[in-house]
Structure 1
């Protein structure tokens, strides 16, 4: 169940057919959450990068776990200082932290279809022997990718939902509310709260990502770069593309991080001839065609979206056989060095 300001939340006028939508609209207007969202907006975005060995000692010693789209990771504050994600436009970053143990789980939700099982995955790893602990919850991401009239900007949301952000946010809050755990909703920086307009009048997210400080549970708007979206960035991007053809991963978040050992373990996966065909045809597209055909929000993507797509396709073309990445079908394992850098085992 969701608690706001220490009080159980309820949307008295919720209809069974639109309960999540009604709750979401009410939560977006809750004074406590409106104030929290305003506070988040006032925090400068932390541009997280991993410097070379000659870089700052403080940055190099910060131990971070990065989560890509449709991934999740649960971290122990004894091992990890920060956990976060970015590159979210219509996606939503979700953080759940056990107040008793400090165990923190972050996911990058990209579809209502992964919410039910994904939340169970996160919660199973956040709880230890104390299954009654209170859980701090933060949602950051998504934006007003459709008009308020389409997304249910009034007291109710009727008819078919359009866009991507609103249905995803509605499904998350509905699922949180329906479960028996105590979810203390601290931040709901989504949809209208996370929307700005560019010079052409296009709606865009204010923040695309965030970091959680595991020792305190504090969150910060954040962006990452190629040095900090690691380890095994291009292989993990490929896994996301390949997972849509793997029925075993349907409706689930992708697991890549081992909480107990502070290691990344990327299990073997395959890519098909169909994905190779997409890569060979995609590399011939112009930048604008890539945005229009590959993004749910072509006018709101970050500056490196197109480059990331091209690098992914180039990787597939250069490595048509997935077995080359997984010799003897063994996982790719990365351990953290004393410096904080990841090393392939």
Structure 2
């Protein structure tokens, strides 16, 4: 069930197949949610780094305790252990936050496809809700109007683009469940779109942070040092996970909530990835953007470099069992003096 301003959203007299569309359209026009999007877009972007501003060396003690999730990952965090949680690099993807108002526990995910919504929501709730279900606050940020130009800032198109089917599926999933989901932020689609002089569309907000003590959200971006730990291996998982049946329709396990440690679950890839990655590595930047992105014009400046690092890793590590020894997860723990330390 979906609530806004403490009131349930009324049902629509329509076929189930269009329920997500009608509900999404109604929510995008809701005055409270329009105001919430405007407030979020007016906030300054916070830039996170684990590197000192006056030195190229990493800080001996990270300045904040945070958890970062990559595309198709999720993590549930305890505000008693973690100060901030966030994600970025979202263009047609959607950042999804659920906060248990009673316990303060927060689950955050980076959704990249409608195919992962149902099982992904199950995963998030299984680590967030135990026993009696309390009030669940929801923030949805990301996705933009990656469709032909429209003068209507909140227009949604069922037939075009990547962002709309994902947003519609999320709303449909929330509405169909028995839990009470209170939508606090819906900065997606037209509300998260800007255009250049040629009419090309771009997301306004592609990353955000959640303050775990208050549950508030703010725009944010991360540098490579703060997308940790195990940044390149986690990027590789995003690239190859579609070929691993263990992750079909699911978000990838990343973080151990109770112990505040990263537990990077194994993901397999075939030997065929090495020659394929080698071919991709020979392509010009424009072709890598075209073949590897759902929104080539909207990607960040380091997108191609990150893709090339993934290709190189797959070439140098054609067998996944060397990365995930004996099929075990890669475990990282916080160390007071050096940040993240690998334990397994």
Same fold per superposition (TM over 0.5): yes
Q: Contact 1:72–1:106 at 8 Å: present in 2 too?
A: yes
Deviations 1:154-207 (A, max 9, x none): 6x97xx632100010000011101111111100000000000113443100001
How much has 1:324 moved relative to structure 2? 2.3
Distance 1:28 1:218 in 2: 20
| Secondary structure in 2 matching 1:140 | strand
Deviations 1:102-123 (A, max 9, x none): 1000000001110001001101
Deviations 1:267-317 (A, max 9, x none): 333221232232111000001011111110011111111011001001111
Equivalent residue number for residue 123 of structure 2 = 121
Equivalent residue number for residue 70 of structure 1 = 72
Whether 1:98 and 2:100 are equivalent positions in the alignment is yes
How much has 1:52 moved relative to structure 2? 4.3
Q: Contact 2:12–2:22 at 8 Å: present in 1 too?
A: no
Equivalent residue number for residue 321 of structure 2 = 323
Q: Contact 2:28–2:154 at 8 Å: present in 1 too?
A: no
Equivalent residue number for residue 270 of structure 1 = 268
Q: Contact 2:154–2:190 at 8 Å: present in 1 too?
A: no
Equivalent residue number for residue 195 of structure 1 = 193
Equivalent residue number for residue 234 of structure 2 = 236
Which range moves more in the overlay, 260-269 or 133-142? Answer: 260-269
Distance 2:272 2:196 in 1: 36
In structure 2, the gaps of 5 or more residues are none
Whether 1:10 and 2:2 are equivalent positions in the alignment is no
Distance 1:310 1:275 in 2: 13
Equivalent residue number for residue 287 of structure 2 = 289
Distance 1:205 1:77 in 2: 29
**What pairs with 1:1-345 in structure 2 (closer than 5 Å)?**
1-52=1-52, 60-129=62-131, 131-147=132-148, 161-339=159-337, 341-345=339-343
Distance 2:196 2:73 in 1: 29
Distance 2:41 2:169 in 1: 24
Distance 1:38 1:122 in 2: 27
How much has 1:139 moved relative to structure 2? 0.3
| Secondary structure in 2 matching 1:27 | helix
Deviations 1:40-98 (A, max 9, x none): 011011111112497899x9331000000000000001110011111000000000000
Which range moves more in the overlay, 282-291 or 6-15? Answer: 6-15
Distance 1:269 1:123 in 2: 23
Distance 2:264 2:144 in 1: 31
How much has 1:337 moved relative to structure 2? 1.4
Distance 2:248 2:49 in 1: 32
Cα pair distance change 1:14/1:42, threshold 3 Å: farther
Tell me how large the CA RMSD over aligned residues is: 2.3
| Count of paired positions | 340
Q: Contact 2:208–2:220 at 8 Å: present in 1 too?
A: yes
Distance 1:123 1:267 in 2: 19
Cα pair distance change 1:56/1:153, threshold 3 Å: closer
Q: Contact 2:65–2:83 at 8 Å: present in 1 too?
A: yes
Alignment TM-score, normalising by the size of structure 2: 0.93
Q: Contact 2:138–2:184 at 8 Å: present in 1 too?
A: yes
